[in-house]
Each structure stands twice: as structure tokens, then as C-alpha cells.
Amino acid sequence: MATHLKAACLAATAALCLLSSAQAQNQGTVTTWKLATGYRAESFHTQNIEAFAIEVKDATQGRLTIEVSPNNTLVKLAEIPAAVSDGKVQAGEAIMSGIKEVPLAGADGVPFVVSTYADVQRLWKLQRPGIEKEFAARGLKPLYAVPWPPQGLYTTKPIKETKDLAGLKMRTYNPTTVRIAQLLGATPVDVPMVQVGAALAEGRMDAMMTSAVTGVENKVWSGLKHYYELNAWFPKNIVFVNAKAFAALPTDVQQAVLRSASRAETRGFALSQAAASSATDELRKNGMKVESVPFELNRDLKRMGEKFSREWVTSVGNAANEVFIPYHTQR
């Protein structure tokens, strides 16, 4: 009996040792993720991701390391969602309105709906459950989203209402901006941002919609004299991970990633606001007249936003209603 008891104890001790060894090995496992983004290292979005990666490494005591590859060096921007879904890279960043496979992400591209950062947060709160569901169907898990600074209106002359834009040559760069120009009675002109300076010098454009940040980067004050803080839309970038890669992490590491992601979202909103404010000040310093949106123009654009909203809801279906109906009714 004693022999059997001794053998049983030895067996139990051996089992506990094996379990402890396995747990220790698991605790000491180092995982490395590659995160691809198409934006420059200098972009506040990329800098925020770098801060997120550092925080994750610290919070997990080095058990998860995220290597950030900016500026299309690992995967081209348009290909990042598919690359993460396929597991070619573990994580990535993309502009939501560019993810055509996820129709609900298109809410970001509906103009004249959100007008403040608080609006952006409210829309994202309503949008996120549907985004998570659609991402999950593609093997992706959203971590956080951060808006770009809002899109404003640049013109060569003062504008009071929409009719003042009739006949102007307006820079466009996607189907939405083409349609906006047409509805305003302006002439759409396809001009890549890198060619804006030349187009202004040659008289090929009189107006455009883009952010204050982009305006500063391209020194548009050489030809455009007025900037209206239109806040036409706030396109968001979303950072996400391969769902299987996330599920493979120990539970405490998963929680550390989610906590760091929440902080990155809060920090990213603040960085976006700071970038918008700084860029607007820079426009003023360089002689541009920065103005709030005149009442008549704002009224007309809100009506246009309602039209775009209805069209978008019709094209997407019930999932869009779950976002826009509460957004417009629960103020």
C-alpha cells in the first residue's frame, strides 16, 4: 500500500512539474506581429501606432512585440485588409471608407453628416458593432479607429451660399467629390494632390475640399485665399488584427492589447484635433482667410447631407439603418 501511495505521489508530482513547466513556457513565449500601414512614418496616425506598439510591449513584459512597417513598405495600402485576413501579416491599418468589402465602413464617406469630433465619436459608437461583425466574417478583429482632421472648403473667392460655387472649377478625387461638385453646380476637375500647385498656377481649379493639414502640406495659399471650416466629413483609419492571431494570445495578453488599443483611440482623437488646429493656424499665418461656414451655405450642405444619407442607407440596407437612424434621432 505504501509503495502504491509513494508511486502515486511521484506520478502526481511529475504531472504537476510538467504542468508548471508548460505554464512557465507559455508565460515566457514571445510573439511578434508585423503591422502594415500605407501612411508615412511622420503621420500622426503612424506615430500613434508606434506608441501603441511600445505600450503593448511594455504591458505584456515583452511577450508581444509589434513591428510597424509604414509607407507601403510591407504591403500596399489597398491590399492591407486582405493581407491581414489571409495571415500574410498579423495586423494592419486602412482607411475605412476604402474597404469596399465592408459596406458599413462607407458611412465615413457620407458627406455633411458629422460636423464635430463629438459627432465622430457618436457615429463610431453606433457603427462599431456592425463593423466588428463584418470584420469577423473576414477573419479580422478591429482594435481601434482614429479620424483624420475634417475636410474644409478652399476657394479663390469669398463664398456665402452654394450658388456662389456655381461655375467654379472644383478639384475632385473620387466619385463622392465629383457628385458634390456637380450638385453644387461646379465643374469637376480631376487633379492629384501633388499637382494642385501647378493646377492653381495654370488656372485649372478654383476650389477644393480637403483638410487643413493637407492644405499646409501642399502650401495651397499660393493660389487659394479662403478656407471655410466646413467639417464636411471625418474619414477614419482603422487598426485591426488577424482574428486567429489574436485568439492565439494568452488571455492576459489579449486584455493588455485591448486596453492599449482603447488608449490609442483616445490619444489618436486628441492628436487629430491638435493636427487640425495647428494646420489651421498655419493657413492663417500664410495669409489665408480662415472663416466659419456662412449660415446659408451650412443650411444647403446639411440638406445635401440628408440626400447622401438616404442614398447610402438605400444602397447598404438594414445595417445602415441601425447606424443612421439612431445617429440622427438620438442627439
- What CATH number does residue 73 fall under? 3.40.190.170
| Domain co-membership, 68 together with 210 | no
Specify the 3-state DSSP secondary structure of 204: coil
Q: Show the CA angle centred on residue 138, arms to residues 44 and 58, nearest 5°.
A: 45
Residue 159 phi/psi, 5° resolution?
A: -125, 130
Predicted pLDDT at 330:
77
From 207, 254, 205, select the one nearest 226 (Cα to Cα): 207
Q: Which residue, 282, 304, 301, 295, is CA-closest to 227?
A: 282
Same domain, 324 and 312: yes
The total number of structural domains that make up the chain: 2
Per residue in 71-97, pLDDT (tens digit) is: 999 999 999 999 999 999 999 999 998
Whether 5 is in a domain gets the answer no
Lowest mean pLDDT: which of 84-88, 160-164, 190-194, 298-302?
A: 190-194
Which residue is listed with cell 477614419? 236
Instruction: Give the confidence band of 174 by pLDDT, cuts at 50, 70, 90.
Output: confident
Residue 284 lies inside a defined structural domain of this protein: no
Question: 293 is in which domain, residue-wise?
Answer: 151-233+289-329
Q: Report the predicted TM-score, pTM, of the whole model to 2 decimal places.
A: 0.85
- Show the cell assigned to 209: 475640399
Residue showing cell 494570445: 249
